[in-house]
A = this chain, B = another copy of it.
Amino acid sequence: MGRWEPNGRERLAKAALELYGERGFEQTTVAEIAKRAGLTERTFFRHYADKREVLFAGSGELERLFADAVADVPPSATPLDALAAGLDAVCEMFEERREFAGKRHAVISATAELRERELIKLASLAAALADTLRRRGVPEPVASLTAETGVAVFKVAFERWITADEQRPLVRVARDSLEQLKAVAAGSAPAGVGGGAAPAPTEAQPSA
């Protein structure tokens, strides 16, 4: 047995999520988080670069998962198909953690500072995806555009999935969003309500 309780890092993360949820991010001091975790402020900053980062420790894992899945798709596939495979892999990871993801998402979307941090993590994800696509031989700017598109689709799908009234699994929502984006880009959705003139996109559910 060590001199201190084990898993200090995890205790800090747990305490932070709790306190951010109870009092809000700005009303919580790092000293309070450390105290709840039975540690000191200085130790908090040894584990997490700043007060926000404690909520984003897992983002590196997500990035690797997504990029690896894209890299593993056969080279004959289009960039968009490779993207779809990555999307599938990432969505699967979230399915089991919906409750945790919900709490975390609520805290983040309540505070501008945390939204900033989330956005830069997503940007980092897009950069990693673009890099992976380039390694597959996809030229610029197609690689970057595809990567940004993939992140946008994930973002939109996640927001819908985390909503209370969305029952489908995340992977289903994501695939649907991707199909809709394809339809938009193909110009099949006129601005006017209804889109009657559109050549019936693949299977666009009138879910909205």
Q: Complex Cα distance A77/B140, Å?
A: 29
How many chain A residues have a CB neighbour from B under 8 Å?
52
Contacts of A194 in B (CB 8 A): 137, 139
A110 at the interface (CB under 8 A from B): no
Q: Is the CB of B208 within 8 A of A177?
A: no
A86 at the interface (CB under 8 A from B): no
Known: A148-B155, A184-B145. A75 touches B120 (CB 8 A): no
Q: Complex Cα distance A62/B18, Å?
A: 38
Q: Is the CB of A136 within 8 A of B186?
A: no
Q: Is the CB of A137 within 8 A of B192?
A: yes
Known: A120-B112, A123-B119. A142 touches B185 (CB 8 A): no
Contacts of A153 in B (CB 8 A): 145
Q: Complex Cα distance A133/B184, Å?
A: 13
Contacts of A195 in B (CB 8 A): 138-139, 142
* Min CB gap A67→B, angstroms: 15
Contacts of A152 in B (CB 8 A): 145, 148-149, 152
A160 at the interface (CB under 8 A from B): yes
Contacts of A185 in B (CB 8 A): 80, 149, 181-182, 184-186
A175 at the interface (CB under 8 A from B): no
> Which of B75, B182, B208 is close to A191, meaning CB atoms less than 8 Å apart?
B75
Known: A190-B78, A191-B76, A194-B137. A181 touches B145 (CB 8 A): yes
Contacts of A191 in B (CB 8 A): 73, 75-79, 81-82, 133, 136-138
Further 13 A-B residue pairs, CB within 8 A, beyond A82-B191, A141-B177: A75-B192, A78-B187, A78-B190, A79-B191, A116-B119, A116-B120, A136-B191, A141-B160, A142-B183, A145-B180, A182-B185, A185-B185, A186-B186
